[in-house]
Each structure stands twice: as structure tokens, then as C-alpha cells.
Amino acid sequence: MTACVSCGSPLPADARFCPACGTPTTPPNAGQERKVVTVLFADVTGSTALGERLDPERFREVMQSYGSAMREEIEAEGGTVEKFIGDAVMAAFGVPFAHEDDPERALRAALRMMRRLEELNGDLERTHEVSLQIRVGINTGEVLAATAPGPGEAMVTGDAVNAAARFQAIADPGAIFVAQRTADAVRGFSFEDRGFHELKGKRDRVRALRLLEETGIGSRGVPGLFAPMVGRASELDLLRSILDRVVRERRPHLVTVYGDAGVGKSRLTAEFLRWAESTEPPPTVLRGRCLPYGDGITYWPLAEILKGYAGILDSDPPDLAVEKVRKTGRDLLTQEVATDPARSMAALAYTVGLEDPEVSFARADPREVRDELHAAWRSFFTALGRSVPIIVVIEDIHCSRSTSRARSSSSVLLGPT
């Protein structure tokens, strides 16, 4: 039998109040918990004028297309759409499940929404002769989250939600305004400081930053601070000896660094790379990472490696990106390392989600495609390693598996010259 939290008296099984002191037996916040989440608000600018201009049915079709597209991009990054209010959408990252990179997910979702809107506008201009423009506000903070929200019940409530809506309200059309706390919690993004603003309902002026782009894999640790690495001399010596063996024997080696979060895997890798780059000849270093969310991301780290090496930008049109892959292939993939260089180039492009018009894999058997991709990447790494040693770093490789993620890991592939 349970006891009253106030007086300690025994409680009957179905009691709603303590029979001795009258204290409620159910805590006032049952079914709710405090969580730190990142909230995203997006709003269509000029929707009132658009609704006045369009027939109600056409306006409904436009807004439904917009809502469906934005929901897809938000959920692709692991966010939860709480509600659509007219032309505005509110999403939360961190509920019902929290992730270590929820602020990063929210920023990537916002960038994806902007890119998706450009594609959607092309369709809307053809079908309805209209185009949409949105502004986005993002904020991170503590909220009260419902563990099992009922119909019509708010999923998250708190000042962080209100502030996100205020950032969206002051954002320029087509811009993403981000709170300082959100910007401080991420790496690998560039921002423009837009100064301090007075937000409705806030006592103090608040700094706003405009999100410009994702710059790549961010460095871990605290920016501007550096301390000597302690207690990892034997592991560092082991990595050095393996690279020496790779160069001497001209055979590749794979090293996987296991450890709990925060024990220093990234720092050990960084120290090893700093030493390796001081050797002669300095190796070529390629980096990629596995994502803990999304669908169809099996080859994501390889795609990041190729985009970084070939200089492919997310803003590049498909024909330009394919041409960059071809140029990289022409410089590297010869008959000595690839039986069919043109097909290998197309396979590399397919890894990034690009379709080479001269060699299509769209209707090929999935196993055949997998074999082609593997062969192309073996040729790619072989070609790179013919002149100088190569080091391929794959961060967070534990995220590529569906099994337990209690321990995290990174892999380092050392290739011969």
C-alpha cells in the first residue's frame, strides 16, 4: 500500500485525496516533465493578401502543399510537428525523445525547409501562379513537456516557446533567426549577428543571429580553449605505429576507437591527425560522419567525403554537381584502378543522390547498385592512395547500426601510398 507524500498515512488503492490530511494523491504535473528542447516556428509572409487574391479552394490547395512539404522536412531531421496554425507551423526537437544534437537538427530542418520551398514554388508558379516566402524563428530552452498529450493539448509550454515565436516575428522574409543559446549549442554553422532586439513580452533586449548556412562537420570541444592531452599516450603511439606500418607495408588498416561519450575519442583522433599532417609526405585526410536519424542515409559519410573532396555545395544545381564529380573522376580514376572509369564516376555521383544522364542506376537491381558503389569507392580510395597516404575518418559510426548505442565509436581507415 502506498503512503501519502505529505503525512505518511496509508492510502487506499483508488484514493484521489489522503483521508488523513486531504493532500491530492496525484502530483499536479503528472504526465508532464521538464525538458530542454529546441522550438521552431515558421510563418508564411503575405498569406493574408494571398488568401484574398485566390479562390478559397485554390488557397487551401496551396497551403496544404506547403504544410505537407514542411512536415516532411521537419520529420526528416527527427522533429515533431506540434501544430499548424493557419499559415504557421510549430515544431519541437527533443520531444517525445531527446537527442544530443537537437539544436543542430532544428537548424538543419530550417535550411531544408528553405530549399524545399524553392522547389515547391516552382510547382506553385506553374499550377497557381503564386510563390510563397517564409520566415523562421528558432529558440532553445526549458519547457514543460507532456509525456502523452491528448487531443488539443499542447505538447510543450514555457517561455522558450513564446521566444521562438517572437524570433520568427522579427525575422526578415526568407530569413532564419536563431537565439544565442541555440547558436552556442551547435558547431558547423555560420551566423550573422543581427544585434539586440526588443521581443514582445520580454523584459530585456535579446540578441538574434541569422542562420546563413551549414559549413560542415564542426569541431568538438570549447572554441578558443586548448589543453594538453593527458593519459592517452599509449593509444596515440599505437595509431602512429599503425600509420608507419601502412606506409611501410603499403597495406590499408582499419582502426575503430570505442568509448563512452566524452572520454576523448575525438580529441585522440585530432591529436593523431595533427601529428600525421606534420609527417612527410603529409597524408590526405577525408572526413565523414554517420547520422543518428533519417532514412536512406546508409552512404551518408561517403557522400560527405565526396562532396568535400570535389567541392560540391548543397546549393549547386544537379548538372553542376555531376560535372564536379566527373572532373574529380577524370583526375583520379584511370584504367589502372577502375575497369570502367565512366561507370565508376556515375556510381560516385549516385552516392550523393545524383543521377548521371550517361549512366543510370535508377532501374538497376539493388544488389548490383551496391556492388557498383563498393567497387567505385575502392577505386576512389586506391587512386588517392597512389601518391600520398590517405586517412579516412568516419565519426559516430555507431549511429550506422540499429543495435545498442550505449557506447559510441569512430573509425579511422589508413590507406597506403
Considering the domain architecture, whether residues 251 and 163 belong to the same structural domain is answered as no
| CB proximity list for 182: less than 8 A, separation 6 or greater | 38, 103, 106, 107, 138, 139, 140
Is pTM, for the whole model, over 0.75?
no
Closest CA to 159 of 184, 183, 136, 142: 142
pLDDT of residue 128: 87
Report the SS3 class of residue 209.
strand
pLDDT of residue 148: 67
Do the domain assignments include residue 225? no
Considering the domain architecture, whether residues 154 and 261 belong to the same structural domain is answered as no
**pLDDT tens-place string over residues 210-237:** 999 888 665 565 566 667 777 888 999 9
Task: Retrieve residue 223's grid coordinates.
Answer: 572554441
**DSSP strand pairing (390-395 vs 284-289):** parallel
Phi, psi at 225, each rounded to 5°: -110, 140
Considering the domain architecture, whether residues 324 and 287 belong to the same structural domain is answered as yes
Report the SS3 class of residue 176.
strand
pLDDT of residue 415: 58
Q: What percent of the chain is modeled with pLDDT above 90? A: 30
Q: Which residue has the cell 544585434?
A: 195
CA gyration radius, the chain: 26
What does DSSP assign to residue 317? Answer: -
Lowest mean pLDDT among 40-49, 104-113, 252-261: 252-261
CA 187 → CA 101, 107, 214, distances in Å?
A: 10, 11, 9
pLDDT reading at 28 higher than 60: no
For range 155-176, the mean pLDDT? 91
> Cα(185)–Cα(329) distance, rounded to whole angstroms?
38
Do the domain assignments include residue 109? yes
Contact of 412 with 255, CB cutoff 8 Å? yes
Considering the domain architecture, whether residues 238 and 326 belong to the same structural domain is answered as yes
> Cα(109)–Cα(290) distance, rounded to whole angstroms?
17
Considering the domain architecture, whether residues 83 and 195 belong to the same structural domain is answered as yes
What does DSSP assign to residue 416? Answer: -
Considering the domain architecture, whether residues 238 and 208 belong to the same structural domain is answered as no
Contact of 95 with 156, CB cutoff 8 Å? yes
> Cα(385)–Cα(394) distance, rounded to whole angstroms?
17
Considering the domain architecture, whether residues 137 and 57 belong to the same structural domain is answered as yes
Closest CA to 314 of 214, 218, 175: 214
Contact of 16 with 7, CB cutoff 8 Å? no
pLDDT of residue 402: 44
- The length of the chain in residues reads 417
> Cα(91)–Cα(192) distance, rounded to whole angstroms?
23
Considering the domain architecture, whether residues 252 and 151 belong to the same structural domain is answered as no
For range 56-77, the mean pLDDT? 91
Q: Which residue has the cell 510537428?
A: 81
> Cα(136)–Cα(147) distance, rounded to whole angstroms?
26
Considering the domain architecture, whether residues 387 and 410 belong to the same structural domain is answered as yes
Overall domain count for the chain: 3
CATH code for position 145: 3.30.70.1230
> Cα(10)–Cα(4) distance, rounded to whole angstroms?
6
Task: Retrieve residue 30's grid coordinates.
Answer: 503528472
pLDDT of residue 294: 61
pLDDT of residue 291: 74
Closest CA to 178 of 42, 58, 62, 336: 42
> Cα(291)–Cα(307) distance, rounded to whole angstroms?
16
Do the domain assignments include residue 220? no
For range 383-405, the mean pLDDT? 75
pLDDT of residue 409: 54
Task: Retrieve residue 306's grid coordinates.
Answer: 565526396
| CB proximity list for 297: less than 8 A, separation 6 or greater | 290, 291
For range 392-417, the mean pLDDT? 61
Considering the domain architecture, whether residues 276 and 358 belong to the same structural domain is answered as yes
pLDDT reading at 398 higher than 80: no
**pLDDT tens-place string over residues 134-165:** 999 999 999 988 766 666 667 888 889 999 99
**pLDDT tens-place string over residues 187-205:** 889 999 999 988 887 888 8
Range of the domain at 23: 1-30
Do the domain assignments include residue 139? yes
CB atoms within 10 A of CB 53: 12
Identity of residue 43? D
pLDDT of residue 219: 58
Do the domain assignments include residue 135? yes
Q: Which residue has the cell 560540391?
A: 312
